[in-house]
Amino acid sequence: MAKAGTIEGLIEAAGAEARREAFPVDEPVYQKAGKDPLRPILYAGALDAPVAVLARDLGRDEVAAGQPLIGAGGKLVRAGIVRAHDASELEQALRFALLTNTVPFKPPGNKAYAESVRARFRPFVAELLARFWSGSQVLTLGTEAFRWFEPYAEGGAFPASAATDARFDEAYECRLPVSGGAEKLVLIRPLPHPSPLNRRWYARFPEMLDRRLAEAGPGG
């Protein structure tokens, strides 16, 4: 991937990759929202925020709004960020966090994208986090978002705790590649997915999110 000079250039480059070869996109949802299905919805929020939140991929509400994490689960996340900063409205969460996904498109039927699709768009998400976002604390939502960071973990693999519930109490150092051969150290703090269908963790998610934001520091 050629180095993008601006964040808009990065979005355009991701769109060019989407047009290069067909892959599954939930076109009816984009059509209903009046959106281009090959226009990436790469991020929302502040590039200078200390905390980023990485989810799996976009849903119907995210396509309609043109930004990640605005559906039922996303509103829980935004509410936690608002609580952490004594703010009053969910939109204010965008001042304090960067919100993004492993793939900046919506898959058909809300099924997870194949690893081959994630691999195609991985360089653009990595470039967003490594070069354009200035923070270093990342909260991941669900298994797929957490595992997205595994190639960047020390030694190329997470420790044994990453496969157990202990991961929700730990943080993992990862090094993202930066254009030019450098690396950026980020600290990954996993969380369960905040979907109402995730019955095991859904009721506990707000408390877990509050704790993770506190661990990320006063700026988080």
- Domain positions in the chain are 7-215
| pLDDT for 217 | 79
Pick out the chain residues at pLDDT < 50: none
Q: Which residue bears the tokens 């704790």?
A: 211
| pLDDT for 220 | 61
CB atoms within 10 A of CB 61: 17
| pLDDT for 84 | 95
Question: Does the 7-215 domain belong in CATH 3.40.50.720?
Answer: no
| pLDDT for 127 | 96
Q: Which of 143, 45, 33, 132 is nearest to 95 (CA)?
A: 45
Q: What is the pTM of this model?
A: 0.95
| pLDDT for 218 | 66
| pLDDT for 91 | 86
| pLDDT for 2 | 60
